[in-house]
């Protein structure tokens, strides 16, 4: 009985947490060596024409307040440590969106002497948005895809909880399906 | 019986749950109005609730070099101060839950507690942006506090009492803002200074000092500070509406008057650009305090003659 009650409350709490996370993604924007093309497009995304506040996105100045790190450009040798530090300063759960061709593969800067490479070489990335630069619609689409995957993760968490409390052995087989959690 | 009534007053109405919900609702109205004035669609109705819930569910990072006890308890004290102030003002148009001669002064000091805690929270961390933010927060506190107090004490002098309900009763439904327009304007703009709303948001200017005193706060602490600010918005609006707009006759009257004031606040926020911190101090001491004093002298003179 006690176990059942725990499960019901835990499930409801998980649902509430996922709902809040999906509906209030606060972003921080970092340029790790981009040519500013993608940054202008991100600014255009946040202007009244597209108005991302209607889905709850807010640009934050402090990494401590942010959930999503929007990263543009290839990572230069100088900005590698700073990018890592900003990522480490963000509280869990945190997500990274790489915007533009350079953030995905190094783009036009590939092979330069002062480049580490793409963003994924330094910090783990959740969503890639291609384009040089991507249009605001593409950036919004990428953020929405990230939020959809968040919902999916919440559901997986619930299923796991149900499986674990039903029988102790059942949880182990499901860990294989579990998406990578950081 | 009185014990049960006190617990209900503390936890549900007018303290606790009611004020927290009200604070979130008023924050949404404020954000939505500003968005509409800027020709945007604006946030959905549950946006502040989602923000606070998400922050509560997030990890809380305690940075190196802070006093962890202060870091954890300052947000709690700030929110508790704002919630306690709600017990001494006529929430929802009903008489205050607790009342004694002098409760106006207690409510005013409890409202200052949030700002003081924000300043201390910023000074507690080693981060340079928080420290600059804390200095600006406290500087602003010392500039708007005196004119704000002088402005809210003018109706009290007319009524000859420091008790909120007594002041409202002696006004007898008359709108004091018609006879004391200067102190009304100073009280309303002082409230914006207290809440660090746009023309006075130098303490948290994101283009200069990231997020001011609360830069290092994440998760629970930041959520509590946000909730406290929402509560303070409601309590401040209630106080100004009750003192200057002929009291609050009932829930409908309360909603109409406070939301009317909120529209004015939202208009001011969209109209004016951010003042530098020295401009804020100059505005309050050169004009605000002098005008409030002049208003007070006229009132005292009229009382002496009459």
CA distance B156 to B147: 15
Q: Is A71 exposed, middle or buried (0-12, 13-18, 19+ CB in 10 A)?
A: buried
Domain ranges of chain A: 26-147
> What is chain A's mean pLDDT, rounded?
80
Residue A28 scores a pLDDT above 60: yes
The number of folded domains in chain B is 1
pLDDT computed for residue A147 by the predictor: 86
Using a CB-CB cut-off of 8 Å, the residues of chain A touching B219 are 91
* Spatial contact of B219 and B60, defined as CB atoms under 8 Å apart: yes
A88 reaches B (C-beta below 8 A) = no
Report pLDDT digits (tens) over B170-204. Answer: 777 778 777 788 888 898 888 888 888 888 888 88
A85 and chain B in contact, CB less than 8 A: no
Q: What is the pLDDT of residue A166?
A: 47
Please give the residue range of the domain that contains residue B158.
Answer: 2-305
Give SS3 for B50: helix
CB distance from A137 to chain B under 8 Å? no
Identify whether A103 is preceded by a cis peptide bond (ω within 30 of 0).
Answer: no
Nearest to A30 by CA among A76, A77, A86: A86
Average pLDDT, chain B: 85
Q: What percent of chain B has pLDDT over 70?
A: 98
Residues of B within 8 A of A20 (CB-CB) are: 50-51, 53-54, 57
Q: At residue A175, does pLDDT exceed 60?
A: no
Estimate to the nearest angstrom the gap between the alpha carbon of B91 and the chain centroid.
14
DSSP class of B216 = T
Across the strands, what pairs with A58?
A26
Task: Count other C-beta atoms under 10 Å from residue A130's C-beta.
Answer: 15
Q: Which of A16, A48, A56 sits opposite B43 (nearest CB)?
A: A56
pLDDT tens-digit series, residues B249-286: 778 888 888 899 999 999 999 998 888 888 888 888 88
Neighbouring residues of B301: CB distance < 8 A, sequence distance ≥ 6: none
Helix axes B251-271, B220-244, angle to 10 degrees: 110
For residue A129, give the H/E element and its range: strand A127-129
ipTM above 0.85, yes or no: no
Higher pLDDT, B16 or A122: A122
User: C-alpha angle B191/B196/B199, rounded to 5°?
Assistant: 90
Q: What is the percent of chain B where pLDDT is above 90? A: 8
pLDDT tens for A125-171 read 989 999 888 999 998 888 888 888 888 776 666 556 555 544 444 33
Angle, CA B75 vertex, CA A96 and CA B281 arms, to 5°: 95
Chain B residues whose beta carbon lies within 8 Å of the beta carbon of residue A61: 206, 210-211, 215
- CA distances, A97 to each of A25, A155, B66, B245 (Å): 12, 22, 31, 50
- pLDDT, position B262: 92
Q: Which of B37, B56, B58, B222 to mutate to probe the A interface, most A CBs <10 Å?
A: B58
Which SS3 state, helix, strand or coil, does residue A97 take? strand
Q: Say which residue, B306 or B285, is predicted with more confidence.
A: B285
Asked whether the beta carbons of residue B40 and residue A48 sit closer than 8 angstroms, the reply is: yes
User: Which residues contact residue B278 at a Cβ distance below 8 angstroms, ignoring those fewer than 6 apart?
Assistant: none
Q: What is the pLDDT of residues A43-78, one digit of tens each?
A: 888 888 888 888 888 888 888 888 899 999 899 999
Give the residue with greater pLDDT, B97 vs B295.
B295
For residue A21, what is the enclosing H or E element? Answer: helix A2-23
A62–B40 CB contact, under 8 Å: no
Closest CA to A12 of B47, B59, B53, B227: B53
In chain A, count of helices (H) and strands (E)?
Answer: 6, 7
Smallest CA–CA distance from A24 into chain B, residue: B51
Spell out the residues 6+ positions from residue B56 whose beta carbon is closer than 8 angstroms to its own: B219, B220, B223
Please say if the pLDDT value at position B1 is more than 70.
Answer: no
Instruction: Name the burial class of residue B306, with classes exposed (0-12), middle (13-18) and buried (19+) by CB atoms within 10 angstroms of its CB.
Output: exposed
User: How confident is residue A3, by pLDDT bands cut at 50, 70 and 90?
Assistant: low
Q: Quick check: A24 contacting B, CB < 8 Å?
A: yes
Q: Is the pTM of this model over 0.95?
A: no
Domain A26-147 in CATH 3.40.50.12280? The answer is yes
User: Contact B61/A91 with Cβ under 8 angstroms?
Assistant: yes
């Amino acid at each position: 009985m006690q176990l059942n009650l725990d499960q019901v409350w835990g499930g409801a709490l998980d649902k509430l947490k996922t709902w809040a996370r999906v509906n209030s993604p606060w972003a921080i924007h970092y340029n790790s060596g981009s040519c500013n093309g993608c940054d202008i497009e991100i600014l255009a995304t946040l202007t009244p024409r597209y108005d991302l506040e209607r889905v709850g996105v807010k640009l934050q100045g402090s990494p401590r307040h942010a959930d999503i790190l929007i990263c543009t450009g290839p990572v230069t040798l100088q900005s590698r440590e700073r990018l890592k530090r900003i990522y480490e300063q963000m509280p869990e759960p945190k997500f990274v969106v790489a915007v533009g061709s350079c953030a995905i593969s190094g783009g036009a800067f590939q092979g330069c002497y002062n480049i580490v490479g793409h963003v994924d070489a330094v910090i783990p990335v959740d969503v890639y948005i291609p384009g040089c630069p991507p249009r605001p619609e593409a950036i919004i689409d990428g953020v929405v895809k990230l939020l959809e995957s968040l919902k999916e993760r919440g559901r997986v968490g619930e299923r796991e909880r149900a499986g674990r409390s039903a029988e102790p052995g059942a949880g182990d087989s499901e860990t294989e399906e579990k998406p990578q959690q950081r | 019986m009185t014990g049960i009534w006190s617990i209900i007053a503390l936890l549900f109405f007018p303290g606790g749950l009611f004020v927290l919900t009200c604070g979130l609702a008023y924050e949404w109205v404020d954000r939505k109005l500003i968005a509409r004035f800027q020709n945007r669609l604006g946030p959905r109705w549950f946006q502040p609730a989602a923000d606070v819930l998400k922050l509560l569910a997030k990890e809380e990072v305690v940075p190196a070099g802070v006093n962890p006890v202060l870091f954890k308890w300052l947000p709690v004290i700030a929110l508790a101060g704002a919630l306690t102030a709600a017990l001494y003002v006529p929430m929802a148009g009903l008489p205050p839950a607790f009342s004694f001669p002098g409760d106006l002064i207690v409510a005013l000091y409890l409202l200052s507690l949030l700002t003081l805690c924000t300043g201390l929270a910023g000074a507690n961390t080693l981060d340079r942006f928080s420290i600059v933010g804390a200095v600006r927060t406290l500087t602003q506190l010392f500039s708007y506090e005196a004119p704000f107090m002088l402005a809210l004490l003018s109706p009290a002098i007319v009524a000859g009492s420091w008790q909120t309900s007594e002041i409202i009763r002696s006004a007898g439904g008359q709108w004091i803002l018609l006879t004391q327009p200067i102190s009304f304007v100073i009280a309303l703009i002082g409230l914006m200074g207290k809440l660090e709303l746009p023309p006075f948001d130098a303490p948290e200017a994101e283009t200069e000092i990231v997020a001011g005193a609360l830069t290092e706060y994440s998760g629970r602490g930041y959520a509590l500070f946000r909730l406290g600010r929402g509560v303070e918005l409601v309590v401040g609006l209630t106080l100004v509406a009750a003192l200057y707009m002929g009291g609050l006759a009932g829930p409908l009257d309360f909603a109409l008057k406070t939301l009317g004031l909120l529209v004015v606040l939202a208009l001011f926020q969209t109209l004016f650009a951010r003042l530098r911190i020295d401009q804020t101090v100059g505005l309050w001491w050169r004009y605000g305090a002098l005008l409030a004093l002049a208003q007070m002298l006229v009132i005292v003179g009229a009382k002496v003659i009459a």
